[in-house]
A and B are shown apart, each in its own frame.
Chain A
Amino acid sequence: MLHFNSGACNACDIEVVALLSPRYDIERFGILLEPSPRHADVLLVTGAVTRQCADRLKRIYEQMPEPKFVVAIGACACSGGVFEGNYNVLGGADKVIPVDVYIPGCPPKPEAIIDGVLKLLKKSRKGKNRNE
C-alpha cells in the first residue's frame, strides 16, 4: 500500500503510521507500506483534496499498476469534512479519483483503518471490482 496526504491535518496520517508500529502491526496481514506508487496496489488517501494537490493525487493514482484500489481515510478524504466549502479545497478524494472504501472518523482509530483495509482485501479476493 501507498500513503498519500492530499491536504490532511496530520491526525489521520499519524494513525496510518501507527498501523505499522508494534501495537497494531499491520504487516501480520501481509500489508506493507511501499515508498513508490509503482509498487503499490492500494492507495490510502488522507485529507481533503487541495487545489494544489489535485494534480499530484491523480498522477500518483495513474502511476499505480492495475488492479488498484483506493481507501479514503478520515472525514476529510471521504467528503471534505470540516474544510468543505473553503476556497482552496476541492472536496473528498472521490472528486479526483475513484474510491473503493471509505473510513470515516476524525481521525478513525487504527482498529477502524485495519477493519476497512481488511474489508477491501476480502472484496478483492472475491475478484470483485468497484463496479460490481
Chain B
Amino acid sequence: MSEKEQEILQKLREELGDRIIQVQTTRNEKLLIQVKIGAHKDAIRKLLNEDRNAGVSAITGVDLGDVISIMYHIRVHGDVITIKVEVPKENAKTTTICDIIPGADFHEREVSDLFGVTFEGHPNPKRLILPDDWPQNIFPLRKDVETANLIRTLDSRKSLYNEKNVAEGENVKIVFGPQHPALIEPEMFSLEVDGEIVKRVEPRIGYVHRGIEKATEQRTYLQNIYLVERICGICNACHAACFCQTVEEIMGLNIPARAKYLRTIILELNRIHSHMLLLGHAGTEIGYETFFHYMWRDREPIMDVVEMLTGNRVLASFITIGGVRRDIDEKMIPKIKEKLAILKNKLPFYKNLFENDPTIKMRTKNVGILSRKDALKLCVVGPVARGSGVKMDVRKDEPYAAYGEIPFNMVTYDDGDSWARLMVRLDEISEGLDIIEYALENLPSGPYRVRAPRVVPAGEAIDRVEAPRGELFYYIKSNNTAYPERVKVRTPTFSNIRSFVNIAEGSNIADIPASLVSLDPCFSCTDR
C-alpha cells in the first residue's frame, strides 16, 4: 500500500468509523474496503472529493452464495480503490450512486441485469444488456444459474423473436440501428427529434451480448485467453494482455523482460491499426470517402507487420500467461521497420489535412462537444477523456509491460469536440510508431516466456491496460482450480457510451453519425 493510500484509508476511517467492516488488499496490493450497506455512498463521496479527476472505473458483482458482493472500483489519483458492500441474495438491493456520480448509470444497470440487484433511486432503471424478452427473475451470472438449464428454459419459449418496437410512442422517433450504414455493429439508439434537432436519446445496447463473463467460468485459464481475445477483434491483444497480467498478479509470476517488450510492440500495433480504422471510418461518416481509402490503404502495412509477428492479420493470439507465444526473428526487424516507415512518412500529410482541410473542419470542429466537467462527471476514459483535456492514461498512471521504460508523450487536447478526439488518435499513431521503434532497438535478450502452472491459487486481483479506446479493466477471482471463479471485464466503450447521450442531445441530426464515430464505440466490447 502506498503512502497516499494509507492517507486516504485514514481519512475514510475517520469519516466512516465502525461502518467499515474490513480492509483488505488484492494480490497486487490494491485496496479493498468492505463497508456496511448504505455506507458505500459516503465512502465513495469521500473518495471523489479526494481527487478532482476521480471517477467510477467499474462496478463488479460477485455471487458469494448467500450474498452478492457489489464492488465499486473508484479511480483515485490514477490508482483503483474498491469499496465493497454485501447484500443478501434474497432481497438484493442498495442505493444508487448516480446522484453523486452520473457516470455510474450504465455500470449499475449492468449489475442489475446480470445479478438482479436493485439500485434504489436510479434515474432510468431499464434493461440494458440482456434481450428485451428475457424472463423477469433469471439473472445469468448468479452461480445457481446453470448455463445448460438456462438455455433449455430460454429455448422452450414460444418464439425466439421478440425484439421490442421502440418506434412507438407520441413523439417523432428516429431509430438509429441496429442495422444502419453508419454502424458496423448492431446497437440501437432511438432519437426523439424536433425538426432537425435531437431532443432525447435512448441507447439500447446488448445486441452483441454473448455472455462471455459466464462462459469464462466454464473454461480453463488457458482456454480463456482465446475467449477474451474474441470479446473484441480490434483490441484483442489488449484483452489478452489484461487477462494474462491479472492472472500473473494472482500467481505472483514475473515475466521476462523480453516478453514485456514484445507485449508492448503488439499492444502498440493494436492501437495504431485501431486508430487508423477509426479515422478512416470517421472519413466516411463526414462524407469524405477518399480519406477513408487513404487511411485504409496505409493501414495495410501495419496489418502485414501483425501477420509477420503473430501469423494472423487480426486476432493475434500472441500474448499468453507467462509471456508471449512466439519470439521475434532478428531478420524480421529491418522488414518491420521498413513497413512502419511507409506509414510514418504519410503522417505529416494527414496532420496537415486535419488542420487545414475545410471539409474535415466543418464537420468536426465545434461538433459533439463534451466539456471537461462533463467528461469527469460521466467517467469517460481514453481518447474521449484526453480530447476533453483530462490527463488520464494507464500507460503513464500505472505502467505495465515495458511502458515504464519507454519514453513517450501523453496526447491531450482541450477542445472537447469531435475534431479534438480525432486529433488525439492521429497524434497517438505517431507516438505509437516511436514506441515500437524504441522497443525494437532496445529489445532485451533472454527468454520470451516462462512456464506457468495451470492451477491458479485462490485470490483476487484487479488490473488495467490502456486499450485503443481507453482504460480496460479486469477483475479476476480465482479459487485454487484451473477454472476462474469470476472474471469481470469493463471495457472502455462501456464507460464512454453514456456520454453519447449528453453529446447528442441538442445537436443536429446530421451530426449524429459523426459524433458517435468520434467516440470510437466498440459494441462487441461493450456487450461482451
Shortest B420–chain A CB gap in Å is: 25
Residues from 271 to 317 in B contacting A, C-beta threshold 8 Å: 277, 280-281, 292-293, 296-297, 299-300, 303, 313-315
Q: Which of chain B's residues have a CB closer than 8 A to the CB of A37?
A: 179
Q: Which of B132, B181, B231 has the most CB of A within 10 A?
A: B181
Whether A101 sits at the interface, judged by CB under 8 Å, is no
Given A50-B210, A87-B211 in contact, is the A14-B234 Cβ separation under 8 Å? yes
Count residues on chain A whose CB falls below 8 Å from chain B CBs.
45
Chain B 123-143 interface residues, beta-carbon cutoff 8 Å to A = 130-132, 134, 140
In the complex, what residues of B have CB within 8 A of residue A107's CB?
Answer: 233, 313-315
A residues in contact with B234, CB < 8 Å: 10-11, 14
Instruction: Evaluate whether A83 and B208 lie within 8 angstroms (CB atoms) in the complex, with A9-B232, A15-B313, A22-B293 already known.
Output: no
With A and B bound together, what is the CA distance between A109 and B236 in angstroms?
16
Closest to A47 in B: B208
A83 touches B215 (CB 8 A): yes
Which B202-233 residues sit within 8 Å CB-CB of chain A?
206-212, 214-215, 226-227, 230-233
CB–CB B210/A89 < 8 A: yes
Residue of A with least CB distance to B209: A88
Complex alpha-carbon distance, A55 and B233, angstroms: 24
B522 lies within 8 A of chain A by Cβ: yes
- Neighbouring A residues of B459 by C-beta, 8 Å: none
Chain B residues whose CB sits within 8 angstroms of the CB of A50 once the complex forms: 131, 207-210
Is A31 an interface residue when CB atoms closer than 8 A count as contact? no
Main secondary structure of the interface of A (DSSP, over half): mixed
CA–CA, A35 and B520, complex, Å: 20
**Interface residues of B: mostly helix, strand, loop or mixed?**
loop
Q: Which listed segment binds A: B40-48, B155-163, B383-391, B427-435?
A: B155-163
User: In the complex, are the beta carbons of B296 and A22 less than 8 A apart?
Assistant: yes
- Asked if B78 CB lies within 8 Å of chain A CBs, one says no
Q: Known contacts A51-B131, A52-B163, A86-B210; decide if A14 and B233 are in contact (CB<8 Å).
A: yes
Chain B residue with the shortest CB-CB distance to A11: B233
Tally of chain B residues near chain A (CB < 8 A): 53
Report yes or no: B300 in contact with A23, Cβ–Cβ below 8 A.
yes
Q: Is A106 an interface residue (CB 8 A)?
A: yes
Task: List B contacts of A3 (CB < 8 A).
Answer: 184
B154 within 8 A of A: yes
Residue-by-residue, is A1-12 near B (CB-CB < 8 Å gives 1, otherwise 0)? Answer: 001111111111
Residue pair B160, A87 in contact (C-beta under 8 Å): no
A54 within 8 A of B: yes
Choose one: A4, A58, A83, A87; the contact of B186 (CB below 8 Å). A4
Could you tell me the distance between the alpha carbons of A18 and B302 in the complex, rounded to whole angstroms? 13
Q: Please, which residues of chain B bring their CB within 8 A of the CB of A20?
A: 296
- B209 adjacent to A52 (CB under 8 Å): yes
Q: Are A4 and B179 closer than 8 Å at their CB atoms?
A: yes
- Is the Cβ of B147 less than 8 Å from the Cβ of A55? no
Most buried by B among A7, A20, A35, A36: A7
Cα–Cα, bound, A54→B185 (Å): 14
Determine if B412 is an interface residue (Cβ-Cβ < 8 Å). Answer: no
Let me know if B314 and A22 touch, CB within 8 A. Answer: no
Assess the A86–B233 pair: CB atoms within 8 A: no
User: What are some 17 contacts across the A-B interface (CB < 8 A)?
Assistant: A8-B208, A9-B230, A10-B232, A13-B184, A17-B277, A20-B296, A21-B280, A35-B181, A50-B208, A51-B131, A52-B132, A85-B147, A86-B147, A87-B140, A87-B150, A87-B151, A88-B130
Residues of B within 8 A of A (CB): 130-132, 134, 140, 147-148, 150-151, 154, 160-163, 178-181, 184-186, 206-212, 214-215, 226-227, 230-234, 236, 277, 280-281, 292-293, 296-297, 299-300, 303, 313-315, 522, 524
- For the complex of A and B, the 8 pairs showing the least CB-CB separation, nearest first, are A11-B233, A35-B181, A21-B296, A55-B163, A55-B161, A52-B131, A10-B233, A86-B211
